[in-house]
Amino acid sequence: MRSILSLAFLFVAHLAIAQQPYYDDVNLTLTGTALYNELQTKISNASSTFDYSDARDALLDTDENPSNSSQVLLVYGYNDSDGSCTTDRTRNKSLFGGMSCEYNREHVFARSNADPTMGDVGSTTTGIGADPHNLRASDQQMNNNKGNRRFGDGSGNAGVISGGNWYPGDEWKGDVARMMMYMYTRYGSRCLPSLMGTGPTEGSTQMLQLYLQWNIEDPVSFYEDQRNDFLESAYGNRNPFIDNPVLATIIWGGDTAEDRWGLLSTAELSTDPLAFYPNPNYNGTLNISSTLPVTAIQVYSVSGQLVLSQDDFQGSTLDVSALNSGVYLVRLTEAEKQLVKRLIIH
């Protein structure tokens, strides 16, 4: 019993210190749709009076260039020295407007692509059209070039690609993906990923593989963290996928994204290369990888209840198809060595 309680304590204690306090009332042991719904409830608790004018003022802080406090970073921008202000990556904060070489507010999830649309915006607009998590500083011409084009895969700098779609640029594609994940989580089917992006979805989910791919390929930047910290105070919520990109993996599947809280981390009691995969698990079969034969496997619920045990394990796979969707702790024993790791079952 003591070892079971120790496993449960290891898991609970890890969560208690891993994530921002904002998520202390979020059940992070959930997976799939259940976690999606939990996060949707959490981030929906935001300011109802924050308006489009507030969003403009917020850009001065959220989009501040970490290297120069007198500038903002311009989404999709990539070159300050090519003689074209359209491609600028930075701009003086004072140059806000709709004229050439000025910057304005870009709705990354285009207003007209939402269903129903976000409608026209004015200084007193509130709600989805003024949600600052979807607004970025952008050169006004670059903003016009992007328009309401859907995002598509590419490489290099931002611009129109095959099929008339828009590639946001190597520096910005992860930002875009996490914004699209936020919009879908916050507003549901009104902001389906397919309304603003192209390509296949992941399994039976409605999340685009493109966004899951970008979420991995372009990790979170200091700039994104800066936005989240400011908007929690000014707007009342955060973008969870900036705080921890692996939440997208836990909800929608695909390859494992960056795990900034250690939700999928391993508590290794050995230096031997013990491992199991796939994790998250969808097919009911857990493959075991080890240098020496694994002799025993125990699977526990996060509360410490033993739910599956093979004390005389032989082979290289474990049937976990009988386990319900959720989060578990798996203990592998190899000779006198052990590994304890978190397993997600979808």
Model confidence over 255-271: pLDDT tens digits?
889 989 888 764 443 34
Rounded CA-CA distance 244/259 in Å is: 6
> What's the confidence (pLDDT) of residue 266?
45
Span 2-12+261-345: which CATH code?
Answer: 2.60.40.3080
pTM higher than 0.85: no
Neighbouring-strand partners of residue 135: 107
pLDDT band at 23, cuts 50/70/90?
very high
pLDDT confidence of residue 336: 61
d(CA 308, CA 333): 14
Give pLDDT, residue 345.
85
Task: Give 239-303 as a DSSP string.
Answer: -HHHH-THHHHHHH-SS----TT-TT-EEES-SS--EEE-SSB-SSEEEEE-SS-EEEEEEEETT
Query: 335: phi > 0 → left, psi -120 to 50 → alpha, else beta; which?
Result: left
Tell me the percentage of the chain whose pLDDT exceeds 90.
69
250-289: b (≥16 Cβ within 10 Å) or e: bbbbbebbebbbbbbeebeeeebebebeebbbeeeebebe
pLDDT in tens, 181-220: 999 999 999 999 999 999 999 988 999 999 999 999 999 9
Record the tokens describing residue 52, joined without a space: 């489009």
Question: Mean pLDDT over residues 276-300, rounded?
Answer: 86
Structure tokens given for 299: 């699977």
Q: What is the pLDDT of residues 244-259, one digit of tens each?
A: 999 999 999 888 899 8
End-to-end CA distance of the chain: 28
Which secondary structure element, helix H or strand E, spans residue 158, and what is its range?
A: none
140 phi, psi to nearest 5 deg: -60, -35
pLDDT digits (tens, 9 = 90+) for 116-166: 999 999 999 999 999 999 999 999 999 999 999 999 999 999 999 999 999
Which sequence spans correspond to the domains of the chain?
Answer: 2-12+261-345, 23-252
